[in-house]
Amino acid sequence: MPTSSLRFEEVLDRCIVALQEQGKTVEDCLTRYPDWRDELEPLLRLTLRLRAARTLQAPPEFRRAAALRMRNLIAARPRPAPTTARPEGRTWIGLPLPGLRGPVLTAALSVLLILLVLFGSWIIYASPLILPGDALYPMKTALEAARLALSPDEVSDATLHL
């Protein structure tokens, strides 16, 4: 068991820095920390091998052959036929609504739009009667913020604040 006050991780870190940045050898580090020799040596040698492996490159001939193989594999793979038609029973928004097609869908969307306009008009009409704490109060404040954002000048802003 080593007697130094340094932890093994600190010693290993110092040795790796010395190897990579200061040009020291494994033997230099093992000489500096003889108590940790058995634990350090295999890890430092592995560090050097990994550092050397970082700079490995495939030979140009291998790279050309690999690129050719990849192109051949891509060319041999069957391409799916392009599809432009929607799957049967799906609407333009992708929902499976087999009964809503053509005129039925148009009528349903028209009714929905009319209801939204009526509800919005009712909120505009009833907004002076809505008080804080009511369920529609957030709609009232949003409407007021929209009116202020769309007012053309400061006089209109002042009128809206009154």
Q: Are 137 and 131 in contact (CB under 8 A)?
A: yes
Q: What's the confidence (pLDDT) of residue 156?
A: 76
Residue 109 lies in a domain: no
- Residue 87 belongs to a domain: no
The answer to whether position 95 is within a domain reads no
Beta bridge partners, 90, equal: 96
CB 28 within 8 A of CB 18: yes
Task: Look at residue 36 and tell me if it is in a domain.
Answer: yes
DSSP secondary structure code for residue 38 in this structure = H
Q: Is residue 47 part of a domain?
A: yes
Cα–Cα separations (whole angstroms), residue 27 to 30, 48, 61, 65: 5, 12, 38, 42
**Cα–Cα dist 70/93, whole Å:** 38
- Cα separation of 128 and 147, whole Å? 14
Does residue 100 lie within any of the structural domains?
A: no
| Alpha-carbon gap, residue 18 to 44, rounded angstroms | 11
How high is the pLDDT of residue 123?
A: 78
Count the helix, strand and coil residues of the chain and give each as a percent rounded to the nearest 5.
65, 0, 35
State the Cα–Cα distance between residues 87 and 108, nearest whole angstrom: 21
Instruction: For residue 91, tell me if it sits in a domain.
Output: no
Q: What is the mean pLDDT of each run of 10 residues along the chain (162 residues)?
A: 71 90 88 90 90 82 92 87 62 60 79 91 79 83 83 78 68
Contacts of 39 (CB under 8 A, 6+ apart): 8
Residue 45's domain comprises 8-53
CA 6 to the chain's CA centroid: 42
Asked if residues 27 and 40 have their Cβ atoms less than 8 Å apart, the reply is no
Give me the pLDDT at residue 88, please.
Answer: 57
Count of domains observed in the chain: 2
In the prediction, which pLDDT does 112 show?
A: 93
